[in-house]
Chain A
Amino acid sequence: MALLEVDSVDVFYGRVRALQGVSIKVDEGEIVALIGSNGAGKTTTLRTISGLVRPARGAVRLAGKPIHTMGAEQIARMGIGHAPEGRRLFARMTVQENLDMGAYSRRDGAKIRHDFAWVYSLFPRLAERRRQLAGSLSGGEQQMVAIGRALMSRPRVLLLDEPSLGLAPILVDAIFDVIREINGEGTTILLIEQNALIALHTAARAYVLETGSVTLAGPASELLASADVQRAYLGM
C-alpha cells in the first residue's frame, strides 16, 4: 500500500476546473517529482493533499486512511509537512519562531530540541540568523526556513513546492543535496520542480501534469529518456 495516495481527484476554483481525475501514489521512503508547465495544477495538487483546498471528487489517503475530509491543521498533525509555493513564512517572526511554529503540534520537548539542531545543521546559514525576522531574509534563506519549518513537524511525507524558485544555481544544488539528505534519513518526499532535469535526477519516479491531468508517469530514468519530456520540459 502506498504511503500517500491521491485517487482520481477533481478540484474546482469556483467554476474553473483545476484538476481532473488526478491520481498519484507515493511509497514510503520515495522521492517523487511532479513536473508540468505553469498553471498545470501542480500547486493545486499539493494544496489538495494538505487540505487547503477540497476535492470535489476523489480521495486522498495517508497510509490507507482518507484525509481529504479533514481540516488542514488536522492533516498537518497526521504527518504531512508542506513547504508551500511562495514560502509563506511568518514575516514578522524570527527564524527561530518560524521553526518553532513548525513544531507547534508536537509535545516531545527533548526531540524537538534535537530536531532544531538537525535543521540548523542542514542549514547552517539559519543558525547564524535565528534571531532575525524572517521577512528580512534573502529569498534563498527564506526558502531554507520554509523547508526547515516543514521539517520541524517531523512529517512522514514532506511536500515541497518549487524549493529552488529564485535561487542561484549553486544554492539550487545545495538545496537538492539537503533534500536527498532528508530523504536518506527516512522522510518520504513529493516534490514540485520547474527544473525538470534536476527533478528527474533527484526523484525515483515522476508524474507529468498537463492542464489538470496526469499525462505521463513512470520511473525518472524513463521520463528522462522520453522524447516528449525532452522536448517539452528539458528543452532538448
Chain B
Amino acid sequence: MSAATGSAVRGRRPAPRVRRRLRLGMSQGQFLGVLTAVFLILLLLMVVQDGAATAGNEVWRGLVLGAIYALIAVGYTLVYGIIELINFAHGDVFTMSAFYSVFLAGIPGVQEGFFKRFLGFDINHLASSGPGGLILALLIIFPIAMTLAGLTGVVIERVAYRRLRDAPRLAPLITAVGVSFLLEGIMFAFFVPPAPPGQPGLGTPGAAYPTGEDGWIPTTHVLLNIGGSHGVVIGANDTMVIVIALVAMFALAGFIRYSRTGKAMRASAQNRDAAQLCGININRTISATFFLGSALAAVGGVVYAMHYHTITWNQGYQFGLIAFTAAVLGGIGNIVGAGIGGFLIGLVEAFTVTLIPNGGSWALIVVFAVLILVLTLQPTGLLGMRVPDRA
C-alpha cells in the first residue's frame, strides 16, 4: 500500500471532534504571517529589554545554533517523507558524525587522529596554516565524515528498519528508539576518554573546554562588527557554520529537485507502487535517502564539533528532538521547511534565553511547547503538504 493512498484513506476518516475544534486551519500564508508577527514582537521585546547590541548578538547566536538544527532536521524530513518513519536515531547519527571528525582529526595533545596516525599527515596543522589550508582541510574532512555518517545511516536502515517496512507503524518507531540507545551506548563505550581541558582541536568528547579555547577557526577572529566595537559581533567561526550549512542545504535541495536519484526519491515518497512500475528500485532509493539525510547530519556534526568544542555521547537525544520540532514546524516532509524550521527554533532558543530570567533552563521546555502547539494547531507546519494527494 503506498504512502499516498494510506494518507488519503486516513484523511477521509472523520477527525476526532476534539482535534477538529482545536485546529486553527490557517492557510500557509496566514501561519507564516502569525509566526512573523510573533517573532517580531519577541525581537522588539528583546531590544527594549537588553538593547539592540545584545539582542543582535543573541539572534546571531540563535541562528548559528539554528543552522545546526536545520542540518539535522533535513534528515528527519527526508526519511519521514519516504517511509513515514520518525527516525529517532537520527540525532545520534549527528553526534556520531561529530565523533567521526574527532576520530579523523584527533585532539592535539590528547589523542592522535586517524590522519596523523595512519597517514602521517597533520590535518590540524594544515587547517591552521592560513585560509587556503583551512579550506583544504575542510574539503578533506567533510566528505569523509559525511560518507562515514551516510554509511552509518544506510546500515541502520538495512539492519533495523527494512524488514519492518510493512509492519504496523509502531514497530519501526520503537525500533528507532532502540537504535538510538544502541548508538549512544556505542559512543559511550568508544569515545569517552578523560579529556584534559585547554587543548585546541576539533573538539573534546565528554568534557567542556574552557571558553576562549579554539578549534580550527579562532573564536576571537571577528569578521564584522555591526554598530562599532560594542555592537553585534559577527565572528568568523559563526559565519563558517552558517555558510557551510546553507551551502549543504542548497546543494541537497538542488540534488533532490534535479538529479535522477532525487527524482526517484520524490517519486517513491509520493507513490511507491507507481515508482516501482517506472523501474525505480525502492530499496536502493530508500538507502540513498538515509545516506543523504545522515550525510547532512554529519555536516552539522562536524561544524558542531568545530564550533562548540564539546561533544557529549548522549547529546543526540536532545538535538534530535529539537531538530524534529524544527522539521514539524517547517512542515514534515518538506526540505525547505526543515531548513527554515531549524533557524526558527534557533531563534526561539535565543528568545527564551534572553527574555525569561534564567532562560537557559527553560529552552527545552519552550521548544517542546512549540512542538506540541504546532502538532495540535497547525500540523502541516509552514510548508507541509497541501497539494491534493488524490492522483
Q: How far is the CA of A86 from the CA of B9 in the complex (A)?
A: 14
Interface size class of B (residues with CB under 8 A): 20 to 34
- From B274, B388, B390, give the contact of A84 (CB < 8 A): B274
B147 at interface by CB-CB < 8 Å: no
Say yes or no: A136-B276 contact (C-beta < 8 A), given A71-B281, A101-B267, A104-B264: no
Minimal beta-carbon separation of A38 from chain B (angstroms):
18
What is the interface residue range for chain A against chain B? 35 or more
From B267, B278, B390, B391, contact of A153 by CB (8 A): B278
Query: Residue B278 contacts which of A71, A92, A101, A142 (CB distance < 8 angstroms)?
Result: A101
Q: Do residues A89 and B276 form an inter-chain contact, with CB atoms below 8 A?
A: no
Residues on A with beta carbons closer than 8 Å to the beta carbon of B116: none
* A93 interfacial by beta-carbon distance below 8 Å: yes
Q: Which residues of B contact A72 (CB under 8 A)?
A: 273, 276-277
Cα separation A221 to B391 with both chains bound (whole Å): 35
**Contacts A101-B275, A104-B264 given: A92-B270 contact, CB under 8 Å?**
yes
Q: If A73-B280, A77-B279, A101-B267 touch, does A91 touch B389 (CB 8 Å cutoff)?
A: yes
Q: Using known A-B contacts A135-B390, A136-B387, A136-B388, determine if residue A88 contacts B271 with beta carbons closer than 8 Å.
A: yes
A90 touches B266 (CB 8 A): yes
Interface string of B250-268 (1 = CB under 8 A from A): 0000000000100110110
In the complex with contacts A91-B388, A104-B260, A137-B391, A153-B279 CB distance below 8 A: yes
Contact A93 B270 (CB under 8 A): yes
Give bound CA distance, A101 to B267, whole Å: 8
Whether A7 sits at the interface, judged by CB under 8 Å, is no
Say whether A52 faces chain B, with CB atoms less than 8 Å apart.
yes
Contact status A102-B387, CB under 8 Å: no
Does A59 have its Cβ within 8 Å of any Cβ on chain B? no
Contact residues in B for A153 (Cβ distance below 8 Å): 278-279
Whether the pair A90, B280 counts as a contact (CB closer than 8 A) is no
Q: Residues on A close to B: CB < 8 A?
A: 50-52, 71-74, 76-77, 81-82, 84, 86-93, 97, 100-102, 104-105, 133-137, 142, 149-150, 153
> What are 17 A-B residue pairs whose CB atoms fall within 8 Å in the complex?
A71-B281, A73-B282, A76-B276, A90-B267, A90-B274, A91-B270, A91-B271, A91-B387, A91-B388, A92-B270, A92-B385, A93-B263, A93-B267, A104-B260, A104-B264, A104-B267, A136-B388
Known: A88-B277, A90-B274, A92-B266. 4 other contacts (CB 8 A): A76-B277, A76-B278, A92-B385, A105-B278
